[in-house]
Amino acid sequence: MTISSISKLLMMLIISFEVSSQNVMDSVVLQLFEHKFPVDVYNKKDIAWEHGTYSVTVKKNGKPTIKSNDKLINAILPVKVNLHARINKDLGVTKISINCIAEFVTDGDLSIIPDRKSKYMKTDAIVNIVVPNVDMNCDGLKIPISVQLRSLVAQNKVKWEQNIKNKYLYMWKS
């Protein structure tokens, strides 16, 4: 989205509606989020773990909700998470191979905090993901995995925040 198209969008919003400047800004940010964030928010395949391999795909699952104030911009993005795992165990006399799947819907909460004291426009990103109670179906056997998923989120949170700052928040850089 170019500066020209953002300007046109702002003018249309101002002319079409009697809205506050905050609502206009929220609408512009919503448009940027819808166009800048890919459908596949996160996608990693064949990650090794102690029991085999797993893959994680996080996709947008609806429109984001944007709310902002004088300190931050908050985007809540509904997402669908798909997990696929393959458990491979060698028991000496036999090998076990089990397919596991889990799917759930949740919200990814992204807060963007501009640093107005900086000479150049800097931003910080804070990611919060609510992990509901989730069971993984392993060839009919249901295994609770919420604790492991919360641990996975905690382990990757800083990396995801840095990735968002580097890939998507360039629009706020000078």
Return the domain boundaries, the chain. Answer: 1-36, 38-172
The pLDDT value recorded for residue 17 is 46
Nearest CA to 104 out of 133, 128, 138 is that of: 133
Q: Is the pLDDT of residue 118 over 70?
A: no
The pLDDT value recorded for residue 94 is 87
- Strand-pairing partners, residue 144, are 135
Superfamily, domain 38-172? Bactericidal permeability-increasing protein; domain 1 (3.15.10.10)
Q: Provide CB contacts within 8 A for 148, sequence distance 6+.
A: none
Strand boundaries in the chain, DSSP class E: 40-49, 52-60, 65-68, 73-90, 95-115, 122-129, 135-138, 141-144
Q: Which residue has the higher pLDDT, 151 or 121?
A: 151
pTM: 0.71
- Cα angle 116, 37, 106; round to 5: 100
Q: Quick: pLDDT tens for 135-173.
A: 999 999 998 999 988 988 888 888 888 887 776 665 555
